[in-house]
């Protein structure tokens, strides 16, 4: 009986380690794919931002369309955004500011639109350097910006 208990425990521990390592491998593949992209779309962006902000669990393998719908229902995306559309900095700013619950100035607090979200993230130095609010977001810029937002909100510490 004791041997069976030991074997069951060993099996459970092995399953935990294998399950955990495949999750990290899947995330690494997604990050590698993002780094190669010159422009990201709203589906990919919504999934990454919502997982990073804690609204979705990365271990559950959420489908990108579900993440997009989640953000759309809450008004965290520009009104005219479609799932396959390329993301510009204003659209990314609105999603990040709303998902990470970043407090902005008076105009952002009143209007909560992409323009003032962009200005808020520039003010907080989440968006750095020379940037145009209408420029398209690459995978590298997306990862950098989400990382800065996590740092600002205290998630990445």
Please state the rounded mean pLDDT for residues 75-84. 97
- Are 13 and 59 found together in one domain? no
Host domain of residue 96: 38-153
Confidence at 60, pLDDT banded by 50, 70, 90: confident
Q: What is the pLDDT of residues 93-138, one digit of tens each?
A: 999 999 999 999 999 999 999 999 999 999 999 999 999 999 999 9
- Are 31 and 69 found together in one domain? no
- Are 61 and 135 found together in one domain? yes
- Are 31 and 82 found together in one domain? no
- Are 10 and 59 found together in one domain? no
- Are 148 and 78 found together in one domain? yes
* Alpha carbon distance 41, 33 (integer Å): 13
Q: What percent of the chain has pLDDT over 70?
A: 83
- Are 12 and 43 found together in one domain? no
Q: How many domains are contained in the chain?
A: 2
- Are 89 and 15 found together in one domain? no
User: At residue 15, does pLDDT exceed 60?
Assistant: no
The tokens for 149 are 């937002």
- Are 76 and 148 found together in one domain? yes
């Amino acid at each position: 009986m004791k041997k069976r208990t030991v074997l069951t425990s060993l099996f459970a521990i092995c399953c935990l380690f294998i399950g955990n390592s495949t999750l990290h491998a899947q995330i690494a593949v997604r990050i590698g794919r993002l780094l190669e992209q010159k422009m990201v779309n709203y589906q990919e962006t919504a999934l990454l931002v919502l997982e990073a902000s804690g609204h979705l669990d990365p271990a559950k393998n959420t489908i990108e369309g579900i993440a997009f719908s989640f953000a759309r229902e809450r008004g965290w995306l520009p009104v005219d955004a479609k799932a396959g559309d390329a993301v510009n900095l204003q659209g990314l700013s609105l999603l990040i500011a709303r998902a990470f619950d970043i407090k902005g100035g008076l105009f952002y607090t009143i209007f909560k639109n992409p323009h003032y979200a962009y200005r808020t993230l520039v003010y907080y130095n989440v968006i750095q350097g020379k940037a145009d609010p209408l420029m398209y977001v690459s995978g590298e810029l997306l990862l950098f910006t989400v990382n800065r937002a996590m740092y600002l909100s205290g998630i990445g510490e």
